[in-house]
Structure formats: C-alpha cells, structure tokens
Amino acid sequence: MVSTSQPLPQLHHLGNETTSVVVDVASGTPVISYWGSAITSSSNALVSLAAAQSRPLVFGAADVEAPLSLVPTHADGSLARPGIGGHRPGGRMWAPRFSLQHVAASNETITTTAVDEVAQLQLQCTLSLERTGAFTARATLANIGTTRYLLTNLSVTLPIDSSATELLSLGGRWAREAALQRTPFTHGAFIAENRSGRTSHEHIPALWAVQRDTTEWAGQVWAAHVAWSGNHSVFAEVLPDGRKYAQFGELLHPGELCLEPGEKYETPLVIAAHSNRGMNEASWVFHRNVRANNKHSSMREPRKVSLNTWEAVYFNHDEQQLRALANTANECGVERFVLDDGWFGARRNDAAGLGDWVVSKDVYPQGLAPLISHVRSLGMEFGIWVEPEMVNVDSNVYRQHPEWVLSEPGYSAIFSRNQLVLNLAIPEAFAHVEQQLDALLSDHDIAYVKWDMNRAHVHGSGADGAAGSHHQTLAVYRLLDSLRAKHPTVEFESCASGGGRIDHAMLQRTERVWTSDCNDALERQQIQRNISMLVPIEVLGAHIGPPVAHTTGRRHTLAFRGVTAMFGHLGIEWNLLQAKPHELSALSEIIAIYKKHRALLHSGNFARYEVSAVDPQSAVAHGVISQDKREALLCYAQLQTAASLVPAMWKVFGLDPQASYAVRLVDLPGGVQGSARTLPQWCEDPITLTGQQLATVGLQPPTLHPESAVLIHLLSQ
C-alpha cells in the first residue's frame, strides 16, 4: 500500500438535541463530513469520527481523493458536478481552485473565506444550524480581479448518506400542483430544472432523500429546499466511488450574470432538514422555519376566513351585486372580502388593463370607497387583487413605454394569457408600479393584497440585452419589501396561476400562498397533503368552491369540500347569491367549526398518516396535533373505492402515549357519507383511549363513499 498525505481534518461541530453537522474546513471550501442524528461532539470524538470516515485510495482514481465540498471544483479533481462555473474573457480561468484564507466559527454558524489568487476570485461559505432545527447553507462569490467574470452557476452541495435509496420530489402542472414523485437513488443522477422565471408548478425546488422503508413516522430523511422564487436547478448523483450528494442553486441563462470587478453573487439560501423519525418530523423543521422567518403580526393572529370574488363574478363587476355578496358572506361568518381581477383600468376581460393600477371609472364611477365602506361596515376586512409584474399591450403604460417589456428586441414576443412581463429591473418601470400600488394602499382601507403572476418568462431579456429573470426576481423582492415597509399592517398573498410561486423566500414576504387554482376537493386532498411537506398549512389558501368544481367539473358534497378546506387557510370561492338556504346554513356551520379549532390548526404540527399498506391510494388521513400533544383534529378521507369492504385499522401516531384522549366524531353538516349498515361504535358514543392504544391498536374508520371524509377531535382528559 502507498500512503498519500492529505490535509489533517479541521473539524467543527454544529449541533442540537436532534441533529449534528460536522464540518471540515481543512480544504479551500468546507466539507460536510457528517450530517444526521445528534452525535457526541467532544474534540476527541470528532477526531475519532474523522479516522472512522477516512477512505482508502483505490486503483482507477486520483492519488488524492477530491473532497465532496459545499462547492465542488473541477480543478480539485472532483468527479461531482462542479458547484461553480464561469470564466474570464476568452474562456480563461474556467476551473478555479480555492485556498483557505479565514474561518469564523461559533456554536451555531461557520463561515469560511477562500481565495483563488490565480483566477482572482473569493469564495465565502456560511453554514448554520438554526433554532428551528433547520440547517442552512449559502455561498458567495466575489470578483477580486480587474476584468469581468462571466458566472454560469454557483450551487450549494450537501452530502447524502449512502443508506438513502430513494428520492422524493414534488412536480406537477397548473391546477395539479405538488404531485409526489419517487425516484430510485442507487446509481446515476437525478435532475429537475426550472426556467419559468417563478418557482414553478412543474418542479418545486426541494428534494427528500430517504431510506428504503421510511414512512411518515419512521426512518431517516435528508431534505433540502432552495429558498428562491425564480429559476432553479436541483441535482442529485451517486458517484462511482459510492458517495451520494445533492446540489441546489439558481439556474442562470447563458450570459445572465457577469460580475464586474468588485461585484459579488450570493446563492439563494438552501434550507435543509434531517429526521430519524420519518417524513413528518422533517416537515416540521420546514414549518418552523416559515413561522420563525415571517414576522408579520397576522401570522400569530387567527387566520381570517375570506371570500374571493373570482369564481363568483369573474370580470362581471357590479357594485350592487358585490354588496349583496358581501352581505351573504358576512352572514355565513366570512371575515375578509377580496375583490379579484377586473376592478382597474380597461380590465373588462383578460386582454386589457394590466399595468394600469387605477380604479376603473367605467365600473366604479365613485371609486372603490363606497364598496370598501360597505364591507367595513359589516365588520369585514377588504382585500384586493393585483398582478404588478405583468402588462397588456392594450394598456396606457404599454402604449407609453413599450420598451419596459422583458423580451428580446428584434423577435416577436411570446404572449401568454394575452400578457407580457413588465421588466421591474428598469428603475422607471419599478417606480411606476410602486407609486401606483402605494397610492392604491394609501388611498383605500385595504388590509389584504392578493399578488398574482400568471405567466412564465419566455425569451426574457433585460434592458442590457442579457437574460433578465435573475434581476426580475430580485426586483419583485424589492417591490414587495418596499410596499410592506410603507404599509406594515397589510397582509400579502403569493399567487402565480395558483401554486406557481410557493417557496420559503416568498413566504418571508407574504403570509399566504394560493395553493392551486383547482378547488376540486378530491384534487386538493393530495395537493395540500404533499405541499405540507414543505410549508405549514396555515399559509395554504384552501377555498370551498361551488358544488361543481370550476377546473374539473366534479361535483362534491359541501361536507367534503368543507373538511378539505379546513386543513389550510380557509376561504370561499363561490357565488353565495346562487347558493340555496340549506347550503348557506351548512356553510355557516363549517365556518364555525373552523373558527373553533383554527388556533390548534394553525399552531400545531400537521401530521400525515399512511392508513392502508395494501391499498394506499384509496384513503388518506392527516391532522394537526397541538405542540403539547393534549389535543388533535384529524381527518380521514376516502378518495376512491377500497380493496376491502371494511377499512384497515388506522394507527394514530404522534400523541402522548401516557395521556387518555376523549375521541369524538365532529358532526359535519351532511353527516357521514357511507354504505355500511352501521357505524363503528365510537362514532355514535364518544370513547376514551390512551395515546399508546391509538398508536398500537388504532381506530376503526367508518366505511365511506368515495370522495367523502370524517373529522375527528381528540382531547386529553
């Protein structure tokens, strides 16, 4: 055997009671030598850990094994996808190699600074273990040379334990967001790239690596999310030497980002979570991160029941009809009335008006004040819809400034929904939108803004001719930040044709996301369940639509629509003036149940359950367990016909094993929709079971018709 010297490890430990991250800073960029369950962190233990992890040199490989660092580099001999790409003019300095310059370390954060004196680049990496349990990482590249540096990519790379054999990701499309996809992770590579200019419906920027038998309640999980609202790339690979890793970062178009001398680029923050007790626990880390990083007061107040007017009136605004709708909504218990598209400029259809954020005199001759005053007199808040990043050709702003469009001159622009993207990176365009929205919020008693974004970026060149999605995303952040600073009490919702912009960066700036344009309760059962892997349910807009779903044509009972929307931020998307008296009465009951339990729903831990190993697609269950485990509100939903006549016992995990719980079926209007001759006894007469009994023996669900559900309340005695 030939012994080849390698740098001695310089190990730092980030840890809490559940998670440890061990970082070796001996090389130019930090290497995460361990990320997983909490371990002993004494200096002797770390030295022994390094010895235990030392890898043999093998034939067919370089004499020194390249580290799998936070930013792998080709010049170090790494066979991983490079974490940095770029070059100087003429293609020079295309493969940098960094040498450590400085380390700053505390119990919570490690920051390394490295320099490539030849390429004249400086790389700073910061890793932190947050109080929420989230492990965060980012990299910053600075051009310390005298010529420009064309950056093609800068990503954050995290190691994945070799025991992880499957990758979970969330894909989908418009009106069918967050479809769970499973990919074997035993060899080769996985990649998901997004070029839409927003977080996207198709590829949510997150990845979960799990062991073979991992469930919601057991097994190890390594998960990470790119907190970025624009283009992104998620990549995972098994190297020939057996090491596994995942890489996360912004996707840059060719030539999109050039660093002039003295300039720097900072990657989006990568937020990671580890769990050795299944998927739910990893989700709770992400949930705590959202809750901790949004400081708006509404996040800590009861989440108001809203009515959104889109599916009630579409573009057909009539003030008297809207007043009547507000009256009916108020009688049902609605607390916020949101006026959707059609109130401004020439916006009588989707071909005109975008970009002119002034109240239409044609529709509202006296302005919005009379309608707002009526809504406020009922005790409800008033909200409004805007789409500040877009413009119609048929608009005053486009006629005056066609050069403000994010497109490539010389080519015919690609339209979507009859609209183009307004280039907010142009200072004058930014100022135009900011001034109009500031005036709108200053001149009206508006408590809520639904911020939409209804099309992808296509051939989106900025004013300098380079691709503009990066600067547009940063401009959107600046615009939101500016408006929130000027109007700190206003709550904002992120909508992008439904769930096209759901990420932790946007949720630092908004208190709600519109989960999907699809209000079909059957589709929503899966959409909301899956997106809960990344965000807490109190930020998920979940609306009760009309009896026949707008996007699918399915018909559902009000009980099923209501219990589905209850596990989110409840709202209404329905012309209540067309509802029958018994429907309005039932809707009032559902809203009352939601209000009774919303403090629990929006502060506890949302848990997903697997209820049938034999037939997992036929039924689902989920619920919220209070932080002290004294109370829970659970839902069992039959999605399709089951393989067996009687459902399998439902093992209710997550409760205090020693506590005794009163188990009660919540009486929903419409009752239990099922075909059995009898209900389980506990449905008729409340019973008491311990948390241990509920987890080990379980609870017998009733036999339900497809597309129906029951609601169950547990309270410790």
Residue 520 known to be catalytic: no
| Single-letter residue type at 182 | R
The 8-class DSSP code of residue 267 comes to P
Point out the catalytic residue in the list 24, 116, 340, 452: 452
DSSP-assigned letters across all residues of 274-305: EESB-HHHHHHHHHHHHHHH---GGGGS----
| Single-letter residue type at 562 | G
Residue 517 known to be catalytic: yes
| Single-letter residue type at 506 | M
From residue 218, give the alpha-carbon distance in Å to each of 245, 353, 533, 628, 653: 22, 53, 15, 21, 11
Point out the catalytic residue in the list 24, 76, 340, 517: 517
- Do the Cβ atoms of 11 and 23 come closer than 8 Å? yes
DSSP-assigned letters across all residues of 453-512: --S--SS-B-TTSSB-HHHHHHHHHHHHHHHHHHSTT-EEEE-BTTBSS--TTGGGT-SE
DSSP-assigned letters across all residues of 77-123: T--SPPSEEEEBGGGBS-S---EEEEEEE-SSEEEEEEEETTTTEEE
Nearby residues of 688 by Cβ (< 8 Å), 6 or more positions away: 660, 661, 662, 663, 717
Q: Is 594 helix (H, G, I), strand (E, B) or coil?
A: helix
**Phi, psi of 226, deg, nearest 5:** -90, 110
Q: Give which of 134, 181, 137 is closest to 159, Cα–Cα.
A: 137
Instruction: State whether the Cα torsion 465-468-471-472 is positive or negative.
Output: positive
Q: Give which of 522, 537, 112, 88 is closest to 290, Cα–Cα.
A: 537
Conformational region of residue 464, where left means phi above 0, alpha means psi within -120 to 50, and beta covers everything else: alpha
Q: How far is Cα of residue 118 from the mean position of the Cα atoms in its chain?
A: 40
Residues assigned a catalytic role: 452, 517
